[in-house]
Structure 1
């Protein structure tokens, strides 16, 4: 889609376009990873329906970056060209809120197929106070 057309879209239309693009990209992933990714994307987009404009801009930027990364990693035919994903910058991890750290940890457990080992935001706060 050309920049001219995208610039004419309303914010909700841009969000919907990005959401559908990501779900379409996930079709090229292995079945288990696609199910995990689709669920996570749905949850994140629902969770940010009523966020403030500054959070919305950051949200859209990061998800557009994700879509770009997945596009490069899947290639034109939608087949992975090696590893999917990328390492997270340790500085970015340090800037996450407690509930985001919990969510990231639970996502890692789900991706690795580990069940039952969950933590809460209180666990994160408690462990950071003891350090």
Structure 2
């Protein structure tokens, strides 16, 4: 009974995250979808205490992002996301820190569209 209920909650959260991502700009949506998909796959067989933490953090993420992507909030703040508490870094594994760094690089590198120069007509 518990396993079936747990699986149902995980699926609902997974679908919710992808629904919330629809409000993001296309580049962020692709990156967010890929990241969420990968993280859920990685934690598919984690132990119950890790699963509880994992689901709590992803639920908080979905709620925060849903609030930030409401049209009225976007007009007021024009901001999506929030800064990571530096104290959380002390609790991350080397693998998590490397993954966070890769995510930071992907989010801050200029898109290819801005690098394209208009062609001159002769």
Name the TM-score, length of structure 2 as normaliser: 0.81
Is 1:95 the counterpart of 2:91? The answer is yes
- Structure 1 alignment gaps of length 5 or more: 1-8, 115-131
Q: Which has the larger radius of gyration?
A: 2
Stretches (4+) displaced over 3 A: 77-81
5 Å matches for 1:1-131?
Answer: 10-75=5-70, 77=71, 80-81=74-75, 82-113=78-109
CA distance 1:78–1:25, shift in 2 (3 Å): farther
Q: How many residues align?
A: 106
- Structure 2 alignment gaps of length 5 or more: 111-122
Per residue, is there more helix in 1 or in 2? Answer: 2
Name the TM-score, length of structure 1 as normaliser: 0.76
> In 2, Cα distance between the equivalents of 1:100 and 1:29?
24
**Is the contact made by 2:67 and 2:73 (CA closer than 8 Å) also made in structure 1?**
no
**Is the contact made by 1:28 and 1:79 (CA closer than 8 Å) also made in structure 2?**
no
**Is the contact made by 1:28 and 1:74 (CA closer than 8 Å) also made in structure 2?**
yes
